[in-house]
Amino acid sequence: MAYNHLFSPIKIGGVEIPNRVALMPMGVLSARMMNHDASYTKDGADYYIERAKGGTGLIITGIAPIPPGEFLPSIVNDPATYTKNMKYLADGVHKYGSKVFVMISAMSGRSGTPGGPAASVLPNVWDPREVQREMSRAEIHQYVEWFAVGAKAAQDAGIDGIEVHAVHEGYLLDQFAISSFNKRSDEYGGSLENRLRFATEIVQAIKAKCGKEFPVSLRYSVKSYTKAFNRGAVPGEEFEEFGRDYEESKKAARLLQDAGYDMLDCDNGTYDAWYWPHPPVYMPKALNLEDVALIKKEVDIPVICAGRFDDPALADRSIAEGKIDMMGMGRPQLADPDIVNKFRENKLDDIRPCIACHFGCLARITQFDFEKMALKDISCALNPRCGMENHYNITKADTKKKIAVVGGGIAGMEAARVCALRGHDVDLYEKSDVLGGIFIAAAAFDFKDDDRRLIEWYRKQMKDTGVHVLLNTEFKPENRDGYEDILVATGATERKLPTPGFDQPSVRYAVDVLRNQNVQDQNVVIVGGGLTGCELAYDLARKNKKVTLVETCPTILNVEGLSAANYNCLLDLMDYYKVDIRKNSKVLKYEDGKAYIETTTYNEPNIRGRALEQSLQGIHRTVDAVEADTVIVSVGYASNQELYNAIKGDHVHLLGDAERPSNLMGCIWSAYTMCLDI
């Protein structure tokens, strides 16, 4: 067996965990997956049971809200039915030898709905014009009692332990713990001991009701990485910590251990620096490891390290060296629920990697489905079956068919993979000499190694599932005979601009730049402030290029479904590397090495909707000549439907970017769901 330390048991409180891998808590709040009593429906429970089946030693569920209410699910709404309903989850996880802790939460404070309770009067994270009110002492005492009631209900269901949410991520309990947020003058404010009193009383109340041996973990942020309200610090930035720094964190960890917590489940950040607890692709791998190792030195209880941590060799070595006790993984287990068993069997090439996009997980759980009039379910951009374990299973087709898939990009390979797994005979046509399509260019950034791993995973899947791959082969209309179904995934083509001067060699398009990674010039103008344009701007600016980003809209990154963690991170990185962002702007012409940029300004109101200046200008346009040794155009794509239009019929299907330019999630989901019915 590979990774002996990672696959050794560990004891948390009175419970032994069979290995050192934990599923990190992630929100499962949709009505299809969570009942009004905060228990999990069968669908919700099966999502967790699938990860236990995949080899995870400890399952830590997403939040179970404590404050009761008409619309918010809460254990306190009905503890008796919660206990009854949760037995299915406990039994299902135990069937595979794993253990399960339920995270119970005081909820969000200033990171939630404006007007709700917080440690003090604080600005709301999402709309700083709104404020949160200060919690009363009576409310705090009520919350403490609710935590104990919730923990007992979980224990009675056979749940193995509780994780308290959290002195972590700037949630309500963290707002009490951090002096910049907590301005109280009573026994819950002032000294560190007072600021941790709320969290201390919670664990003491749980232990009093459930017994000292019943494990209680705490979700814990080692360092806040916060510069101010709504201002995070990017990796490598020198800044003055507004939240919890290392020295206070060490003291807090010891106090929390002494209070009775049996484990610290660690990462970093606050909602003001949201890309630390939810690191997107721009953040380093295992970014919290050394910070968590500092805390491990301070306490005797186990510590978990989470945060883009998916390397079993690094985890095994870190456990052996005493830096951490457990490896925490969240999103990688959504992309591949069998990842832990694949670690154990050393089948790393078979793991479908998480690409840290957040489209299917973090962003999706707060999106509203207006057709179903409900919140969307947690899932994964790469794995549509995540959260749909009872519904989206790949089963053998009743009739074996001869199928052609045209286009070897991600959508085409996903379609070919699913069809082959269903037992069909699949030919995959790709007119170039390599599989991967436009995603090869998208994966070319040096920080997108997981994207490149995904391409390799798909290429291996083509071999492992028996897909007949035809490289350097263009599908012609006359090839349609002999196929019972044809899936057209011919992708999309970059849009061009007719701007005067854009026919010069120094004007390039995004795919060319991404594929070749050979921009040598110092002054770069990027036309288009979508995701690709902004990623190019960040990448070139950190390589010491002087970058100007030009966007016609009043805002950049107008990407449907983009997570706030990814958005904020990319904005802060571009700011840190001094990208000059020109909004409401366009390039009029390019000549003599200069881009002539026209910027339109409007009578924007101030924050209160009143006049911003004493004298208004109306619509005002200015033109600025900017040095541009290279111009890069990144203005989107147009679907390539020429082949489809030539052969379309009852058994010809259009998918991926060929149907509608989309992100990776759209391509994979359209291919997966379509092929389940072929």
Pair 455, 409: CB distance under 8 Å: no
Identify which of 208, 323, 263, 210 has the alpha carbon closest to the alpha carbon of residue 17.
263
What are φ and ψ of residue 177, in 5° steps?
-75, -25
Helices (H), 356-427: 410-421
Q: How are beta strands 594-601 and 585-591 bridged, if at all?
A: antiparallel
Helices 531-542/564-576 angle, 10° precision:
40
Helices 137-156/197-210 angle, 10° precision:
40
Pair 589, 625: CB distance under 8 Å: no
Q: Would you state the structure tokens that stand for residue 31, as one six-digit string?
A: 């009505």
- Give Cα 467 to chain centroid, integer Å: 31
The amino acid at 105? S
The amino acid at 600? T
Residue with token string 């609710």: 146
Residue with token string 């107008």: 558
SS percent in the chain: helix, strand, coil, step 5: 30, 20, 45
48's CB contacts (< 8 A; 6+ apart) are 23, 40, 59, 61, 89, 92, 93, 100
Q: Would you state the structure tokens that stand for residue 458, as one six-digit string?
A: 């798909």
What torsion do the CA atoms of 404, 407, 411, 412 make, to the nearest 10 degrees?
Answer: 30
Is 171 catalytic? The answer is yes
Between CA 293 and CA 250 the distance in angstroms is: 11
Pair 270, 174: CB distance under 8 Å: yes
665's CB contacts (< 8 A; 6+ apart) are 357, 359, 360, 381, 382, 561
Between CA 307 and CA 426 the distance in angstroms is: 39
Q: Which of 171, 188, 220, 577 is catalytic?
A: 171
Helices 79-95/42-53 angle, 10° precision:
30
Between CA 107 and CA 100 the distance in angstroms is: 21
Taking phi first (over 0 means left), then psi (-120 to 50 degrees means alpha), and beta for anything else, what does residue 452 get? alpha
Pair 580, 549: CB distance under 8 Å: yes
Between CA 71 and CA 474 the distance in angstroms is: 55
Instruction: Encode 388-399: b = buried (16+ Cβ within 10 Å), e = exposed.
Output: bbeebebeebee
Between CA 286 and CA 279 the distance in angstroms is: 10
Q: Would you state the structure tokens that stand for residue 600, as one six-digit string?
A: 């339109």
Between CA 626 and CA 523 the distance in angstroms is: 9
What are the CB-based long-range contacts (under 8 Å, 24+) for 553-558?
Answer: 553/529, 553/583, 553/584, 554/583, 554/584, 555/583, 556/529, 556/530, 556/581, 556/583, 557/529, 557/530, 557/531, 558/529, 558/530
Active site residues: 171
